């Protein structure tokens, strides 16, 4: 009941005896905050000013009646409980007031305890309604958050399958960039990859960069912030005043930079920005970190596939040439060839033994086919050596 005593009650009557009994002796003495109004017009003004929790309205108002006030409240969309105060013998009018939206009534003459009982009853119902509304809002909010999380996990699962099934680096860069922008609700972003020879970070993909900056695609990049993350290997999120001292702030007022790691080494940087000084959410940061992890795995897979394919092409070329040269040389080359092929097979088998989560179905199928082809080359090398 302590909380209820803080409610504000507007008493609408021109009768000083009702004001004294209801407002002063009953409500004020019980700890309620009480405000009075002598007519419906003044009551309407005070309703907008103080937003009372409850109205006690005298049925016998002169001018605009209590029923008229109920109609005004309803038409204005003002949902405040109303207790009608009427003299005995006015039961028919009270029923009409209920039809217009009144919540309860008091019949005069009335005692203070009856006033407090009616007020407490109505306010208790009001508090329960508000509590239910808050709980419903919390439940709805929790459901929305849960649904958002499910959607994010579903999207990340789809992104992971797409990344790990892509062996073309150029295509992979574009998919990473699109996913980063979508998952963080960013306006623009860029993807940097470390050149192992020069140790510089190269711009390999971007979204919505100005033309003069977009021209730096496949060139060395330094925006003044990203390379700080390359040195620390830590995620950086910055917005508002903190970003203003960097020239990159002309592109936006909120930035999120996530490192792409391979065995604790920074091999790339994923950057997204928002135009407004609105910080990235923790959930958005987590999603971008997950994308960076998937990108690291996909880059490793793509590069291993590329290396194996190049060695396969070289060996096939050697196999064709070997048919035209001295048999003794062929035998020597065949032995060397077999050694190289077995090294390839060893690399392929190490790939095959990686956790299944690192491979999409299509990629694993391609890997099995590659194993079979390498084994076929070994048999061909043996046959070539034996035939010469």
Domain range spanning residue 19? 4-132
In this structure, is residue 352 part of a structural domain? yes
pTM: 0.50
Residue 154 lies in a domain: no
375 and 331 inside one domain:
yes
Predicted confidence at residue 384, as pLDDT, reads 59
Asked if residue 304 is part of any domain, the answer here is no
Q: Are residues 18 and 113 in the same domain?
A: yes
What's the mean pLDDT in 269-275? 96
CA distance linking residue 82 with residue 87, whole number of Å: 16
Q: In 10 A of CB 279, how many CB atoms?
A: 17
Residue pLDDT, tens place only, 118-129: 999 999 999 999
- The H or E element containing residue 382 is helix 361-387
Give the mean pLDDT of 218-240.
Answer: 92
Does some domain include residue 354?
yes
Give me the chain's average pLDDT, please.
Answer: 84
363 and 263 in a common domain: no
Residue 276 tokens read as: 């407004």
- DSSP letters for 147-180: HHHHHHHHHHHHHHHHHHT---HHHHHHHHHHHH
When pLDDT is averaged across residues 306-333 and rounded to a whole number, the result is 64
Q: Is residue 15 part of a domain?
A: yes
> Is 120 part of any domain?
yes
The reported pLDDT for the residue numbered 356 is: 52
Q: Percent of the chain at pLDDT above 90? A: 51
CA-CA-CA-CA dihedral for 374, 377, 381, 384, to nearest 10: 170
What crossing angle do the helices spanning 169-184 and 282-322 adopt, rounded to 10°? 170
Is 87 part of any domain?
yes
Give pLDDT, residue 92: 86
256/375 same-domain check: no
Confidence of residue 101 (pLDDT cuts 50, 70, 90): very high
* Overall average pLDDT of the 258-263 stretch: 90
Which of 87, 110, 132 is at the close of a domain? 132
pLDDT at 372 over 90: no
Residues 47 and 126 in one domain: yes
Nearest alpha carbon to residue 110 among 231, 225, 13: 13
Q: Are 385 and 330 in contact (CB under 8 A)?
A: yes
Query: Is the confidence at residue 106, as pLDDT, over 60?
Result: yes
pLDDT class for 358, splitting at 50, 70, 90? Answer: low
User: What is the C-alpha to C-alpha distance for residues 311 and 318, in angstroms, rounded to an integer?
Assistant: 10
Show which of 87, 105, 132 is a domain's final residue.
Answer: 132
Cβ-contact 254, 276 below 8 angstroms: yes
- Does residue 178 share a domain with residue 122? no
Q: In the chain, how many domains are there?
A: 3
Residue 173 has pLDDT above 60, yes or no: yes
Q: Do residues 254 and 273 make contact, with C-beta atoms less than 8 angstroms apart?
A: yes
Q: Give the CATH number, domain containing residue 266.
A: 3.30.450.40
Same domain, 31 and 77: yes
Task: Tell me the C-alpha distance between 243 and 249, whole Å.
Answer: 6
Residue 354 pLDDT exceeds 70: no
């Amino acid at each position: 009941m302590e909380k209820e005593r803080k409610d504000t009650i507007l008493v609408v009557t021109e009768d000083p005896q009702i004001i004294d009994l209801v407002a002063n002796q009953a409500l004020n003495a019980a700890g309620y905050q009480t405000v009075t109004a002598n007519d419906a017009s003044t009551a309407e003004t005070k309703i907008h000013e103080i937003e009372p929790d409850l109205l006690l309205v005298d049925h016998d108002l002169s001018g605009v009646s209590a029923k008229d006030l109920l109609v005004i409240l309803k038409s204005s969309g003002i949902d405040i409980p109303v207790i009608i105060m009427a003299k005995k013998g006015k039961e028919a009018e009270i029923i009409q007031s209920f039809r217009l939206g009144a919540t309860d009534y008091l019949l005069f003459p009335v005692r203070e305890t009856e006033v407090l009982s009616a007020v407490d009853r109505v306010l208790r119902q009001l508090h329960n309604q508000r509590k239910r509304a808050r709980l419903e809002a919390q439940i709805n909010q929790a459901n929305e958050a849960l649904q958002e999380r499910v959607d994010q996990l579903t999207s990340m699962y789809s992104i992971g399958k797409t990344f790990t099934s892509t062996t073309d680096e150029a295509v992979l860069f574009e998919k990473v960039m699109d996913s980063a922008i979508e998952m963080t609700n960013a306006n623009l972003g860029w993807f940097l990859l470390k050149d192992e020879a020069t140790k510089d970070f190269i711009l390999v993909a971007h979204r919505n960069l100005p033309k003069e900056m977009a021209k730096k695609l496949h060139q060395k990049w330094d925006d003044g912030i990203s390379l700080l993350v390359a040195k620390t290997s830590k995620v950086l999120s910055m917005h508002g005043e903190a970003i203003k001292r960097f020239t990159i702030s002309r592109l936006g007022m909120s930035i999120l930079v996530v490192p792409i790691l391979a065995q604790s080494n920074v091999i790339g940087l994923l950057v997204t920005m928002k135009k407004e000084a609105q910080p990235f959410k923790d959930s958005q940061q987590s999603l971008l970190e997950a994308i960076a992890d998937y990108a690291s795995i996909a880059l490793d897979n793509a590069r291993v596939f590329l290396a194996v394919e190049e060695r396969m092409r070289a060996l096939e070329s050697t196999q064709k040439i070997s048919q035209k040269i001295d048999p003794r040389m062929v035998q020597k080359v065949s032995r060397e060839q077999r050694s190289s092929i077995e090294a390839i097979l060893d690399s392929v088998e190490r790939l095959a033994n990686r956790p299944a989560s690192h491979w999409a179905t299509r990629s694993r199928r391609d890997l099995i086919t590659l194993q079979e082809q390498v084994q076929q080359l070994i048999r061909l090398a043996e046959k070539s050596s034996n035939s010469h």
